[in-house]
């Protein structure tokens, strides 16, 4: 039985309650962007560059313009007044390319938008695109960040011939001394390959300009509607208060819908030019080539330790493949990796150098985990290699180096303060669930039989709940308005913008418990800038920890007002509000929320210093990030004949603090783990030397399918965070962060009998089969 039936007096928080948002989704009646239709609406289709680097010699749009049903064709020259795609991250000395919404003079990635056709239907718009003739002068491209940094490489932007967008240095402690005093130093180059986020719904935009009242309505598949509003209004010189952005039903994001994209600006611009509503829906091919990618690291690690396994210091040289231009967070993502490079270990000395490299590829940006999977993969691989070097058990070396419980709040060498933790608890729990000692014995037997059995551990930490505003590019607070309507029913207007994470349910649970109302009497609304207060959005595992806390404090304000009305109506100064009732502690008389709401709106009489109505708004600024942690344990067997990795057991023990709805938390863990396993074993954006994406469709880019996924045994330890009153830390990205090192450590362990010490992802059957065949030859 997955879900629980709730009686009205029971607490809602902590229950496996099925989601409030599901009825519209399981009946096919939800409204995604492509489901929006407007009278007179036109369709846009975009011509994109087939070359990764080329000068545009000429564009002939005459045939497309002449096609029946085509209303307009625009090229880069036409859109010069529209401004560039915005980047919110800043670093000292950062070189920011001006990325126009349509290419002008030259293209620098496959998929670069060159022209747009607007027509009466989507078929004609695509026909129009086919009729545009572009003459290109093709140049050599560079699609690999290490090659881009080599002398003589093609310059992605001619004004910066070294392809270096920025360099960044950070250190803490005394890393030179740590390395001088070390008994052992382990070095390894570790890559974290380019990935393609691939939400099942591609991006899409409907722009509807109403000239008479100077109002823009922009419907877009985004995770951050207010950010899109502020940026596009500013770029096009429109009035922000008349610019409405709606994120309708959004079919997944995973970080790839935080950005403000060229198409959002372009569609708004077209709607103004043509005075018509216009729709653009991204094709899957466009999603592969034109939406942001994730990861793209080449890391050079060195770890220094004493012979007893005590880690003294870590050095990292990080090459970040940035792509050809920046979206909202592009250059900031690798700095997150540096912040989290110590992992869960006490490591007092660190040094990191980032080089951001331009390549003729789409920008990298936040993809589920955003910088932390790369960091965790690095430290967790290095710790395993260190254990192997010292002939220690990988569990033992981790337990030895974890930050101790009494050391919280723990200041790290990278300048963070870890909030709270019991880092050994999930690892011990995972080992207990797995029967770790018995597994190691089984492994000895399996090896005698010639089997490649591996046991992999990962103890991960992450930085979540973004975040204190000074540490974020666009503010890190969150907002909430709660209205108790005259009927006593409750409406929540939240600044976050969920798209599958289930806050319509978890927020209703919080409201139910705080106000003592039934969950069916609560409605949670989001994603419309004309309806909800200004919000930052849903990303970085922040929605419940930051947005839920804004809700919590708005509810406290409301409860104080309810109590005042209760005191007035019960004619008592000794009133308690609990379980949805104001009760006089002397007379025992009581009145419920419904009665109080009716009185507050009828306003025949009002408490002192209190106005009519029951509405509260709270903007909450978090004092710190939260730092969830956990341990994943993976048992694998590699088939020596085929190179296939079979995951025999997958154990995930996560500590995300208090759990509001275990059903939803499990779902987040499963989905996160799937994306982490996808990176470990199959997924990779492969570019050839000409900058062509070889894995540009689902046929070639191996997304996990149902039969490829193992059964995930999920469990939790609970260490509430002191950062917010709910004690919640965030769980959206945990699974992804824990999975890739756990799987790779397991496979490396399996193949260690062949002398394997490290393998770079993805661990495809072809790669492993070649390796096994080669070493056995």
Partner 1 sequence: INGTTYSHDVEPRLLLIHYLREVVGLTGPHIGCETSLCGACTVELNGKAVKSCTVFAIQCDGAKILTIEGMAANGKLHKIQEAFWNEHGLQCGFCTPGMIMITKQILERNANPSEQEIRHGLDGNLCRCTGYQHIVNAVRAAAKAAGA
Q: Which is nearer to partner 1, 378 or 735 (CB)?
A: 735
Taking every pair of C-alpha atoms in the chain, what is the biggest distance, in angstroms? 92
Smallest distance, partner 1 to C-beta of residue 307, A: 41
Q: Which is nearer to partner 1, 202 or 724 (CB)?
A: 202
Smallest distance, partner 1 to C-beta of residue 669, A: 8
Q: Which is nearer to partner 1, 18 or 273 (CB)?
A: 18
% helix / strand / coil in the chain, to the nearest 5?
35, 25, 40
Local structure of 2: helix, strand or coil:
coil
Which of left, alpha, beta for 398 (phi over 0: left; psi -120 to 50: alpha)? alpha
Task: Give the chain's count of helices (H) and strands (E).
Answer: 19, 28
Query: Measured between alpha carbons, how far is 557 from 544 in angstroms, rounded to an integer?
Result: 19
Query: Measured between alpha carbons, how far is 460 from 340 in angstroms, rounded to an integer?
Result: 10
Residue with tokens 């408490």: 607
Smallest distance, partner 1 to C-beta of residue 498, A: 9
Smallest distance, partner 1 to C-beta of residue 647, A: 12
Smallest distance, partner 1 to C-beta of residue 26, A: 4
Smallest distance, partner 1 to C-beta of residue 282, A: 10
Query: Measured between alpha carbons, how far is 765 from 520 in angstroms, rounded to an integer?
Result: 50
Q: Which is nearer to partner 1, 200 or 773 (CB)?
A: 200
**Tokens describing residue 88:** 């919110």
Q: Which is nearer to partner 1, 34 or 514 (CB)?
A: 34
Q: Which is nearer to partner 1, 268 or 743 (CB)?
A: 743
Q: Which is nearer to partner 1, 343 or 548 (CB)?
A: 548
Local structure of 620: helix, strand or coil:
strand
Q: The sheet that has 590-592: what strands, in order across it? A: 575-578, 581-584, 590-592
- Cα distances (Å, whole numbers) of residue 143 to 190, 449, 489, 530, 686: 18, 44, 56, 42, 9
Smallest distance, partner 1 to C-beta of residue 21, A: 8
723, 624 contact by CB (below 8 A): yes
Query: Measured between alpha carbons, how far is 718 from 716 in angstroms, rounded to an integer?
Result: 6
Q: Are strands 106-107 and 54-60 parallel, antiparallel or unpaired?
A: antiparallel
Smallest distance, partner 1 to C-beta of residue 707, A: 4
Smallest distance, partner 1 to C-beta of residue 503, A: 12
Q: Which is nearer to partner 1, 123 or 160 (CB)?
A: 123
48, 107 contact by CB (below 8 A): no
Query: Measured between alpha carbons, how far is 573 from 567 in angstroms, rounded to an integer?
Result: 6
Smallest distance, partner 1 to C-beta of residue 744, A: 18
Smallest distance, partner 1 to C-beta of residue 609, A: 45
Query: Measured between alpha carbons, how far is 666 from 60 in angstroms, rounded to an integer?
Result: 54
Chain Cα centroid distance, residue 469: 18
Smallest distance, partner 1 to C-beta of residue 287, A: 9
Which of left, alpha, beta for 391 (phi over 0: left; psi -120 to 50: alpha)? left
The pair phi, psi for residue 383, each rounded to 5°, is: -65, -40
Q: Which is nearer to partner 1, 35 or 422 (CB)?
A: 35
Helix/strand/coil (H/E/C) assignment for every residue in 215-282: EEEEEECCCCHHHHHHHHHHHHCCCHHHEEEECCECCCCCCCCCCCCHHHHHHHHHHHHHCCCEEEEC
Smallest distance, partner 1 to C-beta of residue 757, A: 30
H/E stretch holding 284 reads helix 284-290
Q: Which is nearer to partner 1, 608 or 706 (CB)?
A: 706
The pair phi, psi for residue 322, each rounded to 5°, is: -90, -20
Smallest distance, partner 1 to C-beta of residue 673, A: 6
**Tokens describing residue 33:** 């962007």
Q: Which is nearer to partner 1, 15 or 398 (CB)?
A: 15
629, 460 contact by CB (below 8 A): yes
Which residues touch 33 (CB under 8 Å, ≥6 apart)?
201, 204, 205, 206, 219, 220, 221, 248, 279, 281
Smallest distance, partner 1 to C-beta of residue 34, A: 7
Q: Which is nearer to partner 1, 36 or 164 (CB)?
A: 36
754, 453 contact by CB (below 8 A): no
Query: Measured between alpha carbons, how far is 369 from 466 in angstroms, rounded to an integer?
Result: 12
Smallest distance, partner 1 to C-beta of residue 31, A: 8
H/E stretch holding 385 reads helix 372-389
Local structure of 100: helix, strand or coil:
strand
Q: Give the residue ranges of DSSP H helices in 21-61.
A: 22-26
Q: Is 686 exposed, middle or buried (0-12, 13-18, 19+ CB in 10 A)?
A: middle
Q: Which is nearer to partner 1, 19 or 429 (CB)?
A: 19
Smallest distance, partner 1 to C-beta of residue 438, A: 24
Q: Which is nearer to partner 1, 475 or 540 (CB)?
A: 540
Q: Which is nearer to partner 1, 512 or 732 (CB)?
A: 732
Residue with tokens 């030859």: 777
Q: Which is nearer to partner 1, 3 or 167 (CB)?
A: 3
Q: Which is nearer to partner 1, 22 or 130 (CB)?
A: 22
Q: Which is nearer to partner 1, 295 or 315 (CB)?
A: 295
Which residues touch 642 (CB under 8 Å, ≥6 apart)?
765, 769
Smallest distance, partner 1 to C-beta of residue 214, A: 31
Interacting residues toward partner 1 by CB under 8 A: 2-3, 18-19, 21-32, 34-35, 121-123, 198-202, 249-252, 254, 281, 283-284, 499-502, 663-664, 666-667, 670-675, 697-699, 703-707, 709, 711-712, 735
Query: Measured between alpha carbons, how far is 340 from 335 in angstroms, rounded to an integer?
Result: 9
The pair phi, psi for residue 682, each rounded to 5°, is: -135, -40
């Amino acid at each position: 039985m997955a879900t629980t039936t709730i009686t009205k007096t029971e607490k809602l928080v902590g229950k496996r309650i099925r989601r409030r948002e599901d009825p519209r989704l399981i009946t096919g009646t939800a409204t995604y962007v492509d489901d929006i239709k407007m009278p007179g609406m036109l369709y846009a289709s975009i011509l994109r560059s087939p070359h990764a680097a080329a000068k545009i010699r000429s564009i002939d749009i005459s045939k497309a313009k002449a096609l029946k049903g085509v209303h307009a064709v625009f090229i880069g020259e036409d859109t010069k007044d529209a401004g560039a795609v915005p980047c919110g991250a800043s670093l000292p000395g950062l070189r920011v390319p001006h990325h126009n919404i349509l290419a002008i003079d030259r293209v620098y990635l496959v998929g670069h938008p060159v022209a747009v056709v607007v027509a009466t239907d989507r078929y004609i718009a695509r026909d129009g695109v086919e009729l545009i003739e572009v003459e290109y002068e093709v140049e050599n491209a560079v699609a690999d960040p290490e090659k881009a940094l080599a002398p003589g490489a093609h310059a992605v932007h001619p004004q910066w011939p070294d392809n270096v967008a920025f360099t960044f240095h950070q250190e803490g402690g005394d890393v030179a001394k740590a390395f001088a005093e070390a008994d052992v130093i382990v070095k390894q180059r570790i890559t974290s390959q380019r990935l393609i986020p691939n939400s099942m719904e591609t991006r899409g935009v409907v722009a509807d300009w109403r000239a008479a009242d100077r109002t823009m309505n922009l419907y877009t598949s985004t995770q951050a509607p207010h950010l899109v509003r502020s940026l596009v209004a500013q770029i096009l010189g429109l009035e922000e208060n008349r610019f409405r952005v709606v994120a309708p039903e959004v079919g997944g994001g995973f970080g790839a819908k935080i950005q403000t994209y060229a198409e959002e600006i372009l569609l708004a611009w077209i709607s103004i030019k043509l005075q018509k509503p216009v729709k653009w829906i991204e094709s899957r091919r466009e999603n592969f080539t034109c939406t942001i990618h994730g990861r793209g690291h080449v890391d050079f690690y060195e770890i220094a330790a004493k012979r007893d396994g005590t880690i003294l210091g870590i050095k990292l040289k990080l090459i970040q493949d940035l792509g050809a231009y920046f979206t909202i967070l592009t250059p900031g993502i690798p700095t997150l990796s540096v912040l989290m490079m110590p992992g869960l270990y006490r490591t007092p000395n660190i040094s990191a150098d980032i080089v951001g490299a331009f390549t003729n590829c789409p920008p990298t940006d936040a993809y589920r985990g955003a910088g932390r999977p790369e960091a965790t993969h690095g430290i967790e691989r290095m710790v395993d290699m260190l254990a192997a070097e010292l002939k220690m058990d990988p569990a033992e070396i981790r337990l030895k180096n974890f930050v101790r419980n009494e050391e919280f709040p723990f200041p790290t060498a990278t300048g963070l303060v870890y909030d709270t933790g019991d880092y050994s608890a999930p690892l011990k729990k995972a080992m207990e669930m797995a029967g770790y000692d018995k597994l190691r014995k089984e492994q000895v037997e399996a090896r005698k039989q010639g089997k490649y059995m591996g046991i992999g551990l990962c103890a991960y930490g992450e930085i979540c709940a973004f975040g204190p505003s000074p540490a974020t590019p666009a503010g890190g607070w969150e907002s909430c308005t709660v209205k108790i309507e005259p009927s006593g029913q409750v409406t929540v207007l939240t600044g976050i913008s969920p798209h599958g994470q289930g806050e319509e349910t978890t927020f209703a649970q919080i409201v139910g418990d705080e106000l003592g109302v039934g969950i069916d009497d609560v409605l949670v609304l989001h994603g419309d800038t004309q309806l909800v207060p200004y919000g930052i959005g849903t990303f970085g595992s922040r929605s419940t920890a930051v947005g839920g806390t804004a809700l919590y404090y708005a509810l406290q304000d409301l409860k104080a007002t309810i109590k005042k009305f209760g005191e007035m109506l019960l004619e008592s100064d000794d009133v308690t509000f609990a379980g949805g009732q104001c009760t006089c502690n002397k007379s025992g008389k009581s009145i419920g929320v419904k009665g109080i709401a009716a009185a507050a709106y009828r306003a025949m009489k009002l408490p002192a210093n209190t106005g009519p109505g029951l509405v509260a708004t709270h903007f909450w600024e978090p004092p710190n990030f939260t730092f969830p942690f956990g341990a994943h344990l993976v048992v694998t067997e590699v088939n020596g004949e085929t190179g296939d990795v079979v995951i025999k057991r997958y154990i995930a023990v996560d500590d995300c603090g208090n759990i509001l709805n275990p059903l939803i938390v499990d779902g987040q863990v499963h989905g996160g783990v799937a994306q982490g396993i996808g990176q470990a074993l199959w997924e990779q954006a492969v570019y050839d030397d000409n900058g062509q994406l070889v894995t540009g469709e689902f046929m070639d880019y191996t997304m996990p399918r149902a039969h490829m996924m193992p059964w995930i045994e999920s469990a939790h330890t609970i260490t509430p965070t002191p950062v917010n009153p709910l004690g919640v830390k965030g769980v959206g990205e945990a699974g992804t962060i824990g999975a890739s090192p756990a799987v790779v450590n397991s496979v490396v362990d399996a193949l260690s009998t062949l002398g394997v010490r490290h393998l770079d992802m993805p661990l495809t059957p072809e790669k492993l089969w070649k390796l096994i065949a080669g070493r056995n030859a």
